[in-house]
Chain A
Amino acid sequence: MKRRSLIALQLDVIFAIFIREIHRKFSDYKLGTLWAILDPMVMVMVFVILFGFKGRGEFGYVEPPLFILAAFLPFKVMWNQTMKECSNANNIARGLKSFRQIRLFDILVTRAIVVFLTALTVGVVISFGFWWVLGIDPIPYRILETIFYGGTLTIFGFAIGTMVCMVTDIAKEIGKLINITTMPLLFISAVFFPMSAIPEPYRGWLAYNPLVHPMELIRENWFYRYESPVSDPVYWGYWLIGALFMALMTYRIRWRKVMAL
């Protein structure tokens, strides 16, 4: 056997876990692994149909379906799904314990990467649908920045999810508690509405919520004519680095304990 470089080993491990995961999750369905893409796509489409076609023209700068896509895809998939997937990564860790190449960290990283790539694919497919069916031009104004901020949301989801995963062995309730907070977060994270629609002083208060910033930054970079009154990449950056630091620290301290269960 020839020796692999560390990066080649990591990629092999991630790919192997990815294949195993999509089989575990979807192989019982008729459409099989296609559900890996269909699952988030159907969810985002439901939101687009529920909220995007009510004929609300108040945005002015963007067609409603596109606004909903640019809000729900990052929030529900890139942030929320990454967080959830990472927070229960320890469930499958036990089944992979007998493979020396796999650590819990590989499972966490794999899940984050898979969710992000899935979200990108779903975004492209739905965007294409918008262009084809509705005649909307869905292409982000600054495409790389849009994807970049989507990526930061995934990293944030990975960080929070990892922290949750590392402490759920202390009390299972923590996972439950986190799930309960998802719903209110949806209302205060500038998902249904742009921050420009919120009057002061509430706008200032909501701006303390870190998740508002990537949502607004994505909007700014996706829509040519939208300019956010609050978006602050530096504030978001502090939160991101802080969360990632905390996540890696809790992981380092606790992974053996979590795996030992």
Chain B
Amino acid sequence: MIRIERLSKSYDIKKGRAIIFKDVNLTIPTGRSIAILGSGGSGKTTLLNLIGGIDFPTIGKIKTELDMSWPISHLRYEKSMSVRQNIRFVARLSGRENFDHIEEEVKTLSLVGDRMSARTQHFTVNELRPLDMAIALALNFDVYLFDGAINFGNQSNKEILRAAFDKKMKTSQVIMAVDNPAQAKEYCDASIVIKGNDAIYFDVFDEGVEEFKISNAVN
């Protein structure tokens, strides 16, 4: 369960403050996958980052016991470290101890193969993006965060990655921030709609989509 209590978030901008959220109260139940629906600039990525613990509320608290991933495909690799070292870095931060097992799993889910010891600076962006997902799956999080649509890349192993992800979804949940409900339909069964400075939880995905369409039509 993720509890958002009295959340307010504002940024300093050149002319005063930009208020993104004001006094938001939400409870996200465990085991339900959630789409955060909002148009561009509405604060959906901010809400995702707040839930993910990489952005911080101006006022209020976000409480959770769940083990959360980083927003997938936003992992910052240290380019002077090898793939193995980068994996160990996140594994260590996440409190995992069975490094060998994790590395093996990343190998089966990605095309790294025997390039495990090569520095990440020798990889292209197209190789690193899906690697991100492979590492996150190997680390076995409770919640997977996505900023935008879920992207399995266009490498030859993308079906393997998709199958592994689908399997993981039986035990984990996703939270994704999207501006197009169609991108989230496949995986999400509930939604949060951002409306002005508030965010509203809908236990049925389609109800949220309706609300999202109405508030978008008004604008």
Contact = CB atoms under 8 A, between A and B. Distances in A.
B80 A28 contact: yes
Interface in A1-39: 1-2, 4, 8-9, 12-13, 15-16, 19-20, 23-24, 27-28
A24 B77 CA distance: 11
Given A24-B78, A97-B54, A19 B85 contact: yes
Interface stretch (A98-106, A114-122, A186-194, A228-236): A98-106
A256 interface: yes
Interface in B137-170: 140
A8 to B, nearest CB: 8
Q: In terms of DSSP, what is the predominant structure of the interface of chain A? A: helix
Interface residues of B, number: 27
Contacts of A12: 92-93, 95
B14 interface: no
Given A1-B96, A98-B76, A99-B54, A19 B70 contact: no
A260 interface: yes
Interface in B25-62: 52-54, 56
B68 interface: yes
A95 interface: yes
Nearest to A3: B95
A100 B52 contact: yes
Contacts of B78: 20, 23-24, 95
A18 to B, nearest CB: 10
Nearest to A16: B92
B181 interface: no
A147 interface: no
A95 B80 CA distance: 13
Interface of A: 1-2, 4, 8-9, 12-13, 15-16, 19-20, 23-24, 27-28, 95-102, 256-257, 259-260
